[in-house]
Amino acid sequence: MSTAFQPGDRVRVREAHPPGHVRTPYYVRGCEGVVESIAGDFANPEELAYGRDGLPRRTLYRVRFAQQDIWPSYRGLAADSLVVDIYEHWLTPIGSQLETAS
């Protein structure tokens, strides 16, 4: 299992719009969040959707986002948040060269 990220790490979700089956919700693409936990390694659902073997396996993370960071007009409490399961290949560390190049 890859451990590119650990709980507490700040990450950004790639802002990509590939065609086909994608498990990453549109509304969190480009948003910053914090890794809450590591869910484990799983077959890649973006490959399984096309009848492929799902390899290589991908690490799935639970990432917490502030609601106001996802929806700027959100009027709820500042502490309100949302946790989304996101595969590692969709995440970049905040402030990394990879993050600034994408």
pLDDT tens-place string over residues 7-57: 999 999 999 988 887 889 999 999 999 999 999 999 999 899 899 999 999
Q: What is the pLDDT of residue 96?
A: 56
Q: What is the pLDDT of residue 98?
A: 52
Residue 101 three-state SS:
helix
Q: Are 27 and 70 spatial neighbours (Cβ–Cβ below 8 Å)?
A: yes
Q: What is the pLDDT of residue 101?
A: 47
Q: What is the pLDDT of residue 42?
A: 96
pTM beyond 0.75: yes
Q: Which of 55-71 are b and which e, b meaning 16 or more Cβ less than 10 Å from the residue's Cβ?
A: eeebbbbbbebbbbebe
Express each pLDDT in 54-92 by its tens digit: 999 999 999 999 999 999 999 999 999 999 999 999 999
What is the architecture of the domain spanning 10-101? Roll (2.30)
